[in-house]
Amino acid sequence: MREAGRLLAWYDANARVLPWRAPPGAPPPDPYRVWLSEIMLQQTVAATVKPYFRRFTELWPDVRALAAAAREDVLREWAGLGYYARARNLHACAKAVAEAHGGRFPDTVEGLRALPGIGAYTAGAIAAIAFGRPVAAVDGNVERVVSRLRAIEAPLPAAKAEIARAAQAMVPEARPGDFAQAMMDLGATICAPRAPRCLLCPLSGLCEGSARGLAASLPRKAPKAAKPERRGVVFAHFREGDGALLVVTRPEKGLLGGMIGLPGPEWSADPPDEATLAASAPAPGPWRRAEASARHVFTHFSLTLDVLWAAGPAAPAARYLPAGEALAAAPTAMRKAIRIALAAQAD
């Protein structure tokens, strides 16, 4: 395995320093920290994750502490990281490990995959990095590295199985955790998506894609369908006297499930009609429409939220939070709408 030897030598000299990692060649890190970081790193870059990771590990230093936390506290600390199903699964997984596994993570891919929120990549990463299992951890960075090394021209997602087999064949018996992280670092720093730095790559002489002049064009991807557009309206009601904001907790299932948000009708392809708006208003008006709309792009669709705002006596049985607290607890799409409402109110 010439790739493994070269890559590990490169990693020993060039490994990124990250708060959840052990240095190259050191004993494996705490499985809790590996798991937490890998869940946070899904669809999110390391620079964004670092402060969240530090905050979580300060508040909840081990899996039992996280399992004992109130889920709303976990969701509030997650706000801004996006893909909020991860936060719900994070808490559910912590509880499963604490209650069904005595606070210890399973040390096999199969055992890890049985836990909430852990898929093939995350299970492979935890098994390799935390437990020294010789398994591949194939994320987007590793897909790119392997497709170039082996000149795999079939487009994604059809090529995923071939890439996974090729990645597994490269994993060494010794230091599989360092190898997994070396592959991640190579993809993040050298084997970049659009401009691979082939002259600096420790595997350049072994890369079929580079030899054939294909590296920059790999991996191939099937054309993406255009994202559908959805429209919605949210109501920002400010309580007289202190300016606290009426908030709701979104339904457990579905997008942004369990998160703090502004009330409003369901999102759909068309804006809601006046009858729907009248039925959805959480308090008497008059309601004013903010000039700006909140735009947010989710994985599968783009959303435009019009913002209606009003100020008045507290609505019966409604929950109000100080505006700053609501902003801190809300997911990004709702934060945008809250900021627009605050600006409109201030004008």
- Residues carrying an active site annotation: 38
**Sign of the four-CA dihedral 154, 160, 161, 162:** positive
Are 290 and 309 in contact by the 8 Å Cβ rule? The answer is yes
Answer whether the bond into residue 202 is a cis peptide, omega within 30°: no
How far, in Å, CA of 302 to CA of 304, rounded?
7
How far, in Å, CA of 85 to CA of 129, rounded?
24
Q: What is the CB neighbour count within 10 angstroms for residue 347?
A: 7
Type of residue at 266: E
How far, in Å, CA of 262 to CA of 71, rounded?
19
Task: State the residue for tokens 């109000």.
Answer: 320
What count of residues does the chain have? 347
3-state helix, strand, coil in the chain (%, to 5): 45, 15, 40
